[in-house]
Amino acid sequence: MVLSMVAMGAAGFAGTAVAEPEPDSDQVLLLDDENNEVGDNPYDNIQDAIEDAEGEEDAHTVLVGSGEYEESVTVDIEGLTLEGPNAGIAGDSDERGAEASFDVGGDISADNVTIDGFELRNITAVSGPDDPLIDDDPFSVVTGENTVIRNTVADVFDDAELVRLEDGSDGTVITQNEFTGDGGTFAGAIDGPRPDPDDQLIDGVQITDNTF
């Protein structure tokens, strides 16, 4: 009798796992670390979901459906993952499906942020470098530690940058991405003279297995 009850209990616990939901196109979901929906789902843009994550203690993942999101994204929530529809699929893979795309230009200031499975657009790749609406270099500044950008297609215009690594961005990992466009740089380093030539302002950066 005891063995039978234990077996039933184990089966019951096994059935409580929550599968990750699949957002519709142009839809964004905010999940906790057990894949439960939190916040005010569904969202129609990525930034609103990120901002709501700040008020959700267990918020862990912003799950983004395919579509063109006309926004740049700023991430200032520690440990947050932005997961696109092609998460886990290398940027140059033929297995990629419909993309979720957004513009670079927002910054990553929190630690342990992951961006996985998107198409990132440098706005000059769409508008051209002489567009009068573009006042500054449109790139995302990374100052948080252990940022991961992976499995992403990056469209960058000539002489532009996608990501600027600045002081504090130790441990950044950029991997399994495909670099497209007319030229430019996937990742640039901090500008200007160092306070002390012997100082190493950024440490532990890994840029590996990308396609250019």
- Three-class SS of residue 47? helix
Q: Residue 200, CB half-sphere, CA atoms under 13 Å: how many?
A: 6
CA distance 210 to 212: 7
What's residue 15's pLDDT?
Answer: 41
Q: Is the pLDDT of residue 127 over 50?
A: no
The alpha carbon of residue 62 and the mean position of all alpha carbons in its chain are separated, in whole angstroms, by 9
pTM, two decimals, is 0.81
Q: In whole numbers, what is the pLDDT of the chain averaged over residues?
A: 80
Locate 51 and state its tokens. 């901002």
Q: Are 132 and 156 in contact (CB under 8 A)?
A: no
What's residue 198's pLDDT?
Answer: 56
What's residue 48's pLDDT?
Answer: 96
State pLDDT tens for residues 30-71.
999 999 999 999 999 999 999 999 888 888 999 999 999 999
- The beta strands (E) that lie in the chain are given as 28-32, 59-64, 67-72, 81-83, 100-103, 114-116, 119-121, 140-142, 148-150, 153-155, 161-165, 173-175, 178-180, 185-189, 206-208
What's residue 104's pLDDT?
Answer: 81
Highest mean pLDDT among 3-7, 86-90, 182-186: 86-90
Amino acid identity of residue 100, one-letter, is A
What's residue 50's pLDDT?
Answer: 95
What's residue 86's pLDDT?
Answer: 97
Ranges 121-130, 138-147, 164-173, 197-206: which has the least confidence: 121-130
